[in-house]
């Protein structure tokens, strides 16, 4: 039988999922190829692939704090309670990490979640070491610490309970309203200048968000989250990320205005990043959801990346380079200035009250000096 009878199937979106394919990870040994044999899949224009069930696996991690020395990242220590993320954001720069597990950065990344069930125990052990030197911890940077699995597993809450008990500063970044559950821990820490929250708001268009970040909170819910946290006395910033040309880029000023009105006091942005397998996954997503502008989007991305899909250089990977990147920078800073965002020094988190050997029976007195570190 001729191979032409089995053409390569076109990507078909799955309801509630960001990736439209289970692209092979770069470390997988077996090769696989998708074909349409006529028994199902993309056989009609309106067809939709069957739902994919999420699986959560317990993992007993060996360590929990990750350190980096990247000059363009405003923190050096991070903690991620989960590997993989059910939010399914198609642009997530952490997707390629699933390749290290022998899994796909595509649908596997958002449907096969690994939960570090001993995260709080490891953190407690780390903070209690005589050699430990405190500095602010960034929580949920690679994968969202408040993704759906957290509702039942409570790993992130137990981590924050340890940080709260030790008076250890941290900053969290999230797209999930589940963080409101932990206001009882966050508010007292905020009163001690030991916590801040960054909420990612990519667009105000619910239709775009539904395919771009399918299982994250809706844009309107994130605005309500900013207001709720702010009213509880918790400093809130907005991360407009990623900026996608011709998709989320037209929304920048409106996003900043809405977040400032909701109570955000600081703002930052990141241009779309497409490392490793994220590039083909994103292109498949564009072809499935924005076929009319896919070529324009990628042409503009390459304009900012020296003609490539991605450039990992520290100097430009977050903001891009060239004329369009400079215009984007000017738009952002003009809006921030007009709205009064970033007027105060951001991210001052106090480490002076850290309790290395916390005891519920007899807690040590806070240090008399007041050294502080800056985050975000």
> What CATH number is given to the structural domain containing 306?
3.80.30.30
Is position 49 within any domain? no
Range of the domain at 229: 54-342
Q: What is the arithmetic mean of pLDDT over 171-177?
A: 98
From residue 14, alpha-carbon distances to 34, 106, 300 in Å are 16, 12, 27
Angstrom distance (rounded) from CA 156 to CA 244: 30
**What percentage of residues in the chain have a pLDDT greater than 90?**
79
Q: Closest by alpha carbon to 243, among 289, 291, 300, 313?
A: 300
Q: Are 328 and 320 in contact (CB under 8 A)?
A: yes
Is position 35 within any domain? no
Q: State how many domains the chain has.
A: 1
Is position 365 within any domain? no
Angstrom distance (rounded) from CA 139 to CA 312: 23
Q: Are 298 and 280 in contact (CB under 8 A)?
A: no
Is position 174 within any domain? yes
Q: What is the DSSP string of 136-165?
A: -EEESSSS-TTSTTHHHH-HHHHHHHHHHH
> Would you state the torsion angle of the CA atoms of residues 272, 278, 282, 285, taken in this order, to the nearest 10 degrees?
-140
Which pLDDT tens digit goes with each residue over 284-301?
Answer: 999 999 999 999 999 999
271 contacts: CB under 8 Å, gap ≥ 6: 242, 243, 304, 318, 319, 320, 325, 328
Q: What is the pLDDT of residue 348?
A: 78
Q: Closest by alpha carbon to 215, among 151, 271, 160?
A: 151
Q: Per-residue pLDDT for 49 more than 50? A: yes
Is position 317 within any domain? yes
Higher-confidence residue of 25 and 9: namely 25
Is position 283 within any domain? yes
Angstrom distance (rounded) from CA 124 to CA 166: 9
Angstrom distance (rounded) from CA 312 to CA 276: 10
265 C-beta neighbours (distance < 10 Å), count: 19
Q: Per-residue pLDDT for 373 more than 60? A: no
The first and second tokens of residue 199, run together, are: 């909420």
Is position 362 within any domain? no
Is position 32 within any domain? no
């Amino acid at each position: 039988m001729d191979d032409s009878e089995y053409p390569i199937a076109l990507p078909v979106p799955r309801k509630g999922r960001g990736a439209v394919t289970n692209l092979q990870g770069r470390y997988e040994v077996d090769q696989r190829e998708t074909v349409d044999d006529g028994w199902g899949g993309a056989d009609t224009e309106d067809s939709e692939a069957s739902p994919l069930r999420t699986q959560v696996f317990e993992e007993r991690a060996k360590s929990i704090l990750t350190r980096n020395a990247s000059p363009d990242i405003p923190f050096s220590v991070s903690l991620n309670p989960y590997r993989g993320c059910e939010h399914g954001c198609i642009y997530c720069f952490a997707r390629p990490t699933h390749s290290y597990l022998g899994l796909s950065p595509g649908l596997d990344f958002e449907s096969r979640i690994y939960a570090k069930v001993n995260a709080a125990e490891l953190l407690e052990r780390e903070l209690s070491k005589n050699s430990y030197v405190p500095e602010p911890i960034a929580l949920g940077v690679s994968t969202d610490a408040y993704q759906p699995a957290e509702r039942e597993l409570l790993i992130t809450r137990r981590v924050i309970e340890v940080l709260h008990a030790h008076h250890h500063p941290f900053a969290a970044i999230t797209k999930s309203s589940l963080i409101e559950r932990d206001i009882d821990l966050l508010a007292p820490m905020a009163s001690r200048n030991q916590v801040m929250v960054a909420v990612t708001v990519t667009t105000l268009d619910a239709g775009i968000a539904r395919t771009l970040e399918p299982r994250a909170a809706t844009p309107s819910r994130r605005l309500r989250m900013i207001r709720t946290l702010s009213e509880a006395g918790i400093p809130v910033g907005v991360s407009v990320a990623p900026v996608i040309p011709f998709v989320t880029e037209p929304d920048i000023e409106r996003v900043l205005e809405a977040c400032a009105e909701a109570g955000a006091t600081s703002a930052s942005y990141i241009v779309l990043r497409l490392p490793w397998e994220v590039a083909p996954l994103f292109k498949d997503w564009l072809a499935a959801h924005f076929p009319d502008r896919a070529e324009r989007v990628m042409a503009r991305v390459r304009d900012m990346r020296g003609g490539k899909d991605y450039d990992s250089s520290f100097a430009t990977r977050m903001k891009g380079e060239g004329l369009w990147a400079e215009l984007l920078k000017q738009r952002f800073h003009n809006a921030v200035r007009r709205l009064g965002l970033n007027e105060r020094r951001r991210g001052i988190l106090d480490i002076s009250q850290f309790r290395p050997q916390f005891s519920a029976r007899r807690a040590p007195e806070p240090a008399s000096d007041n050294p502080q570190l800056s985050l975000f």
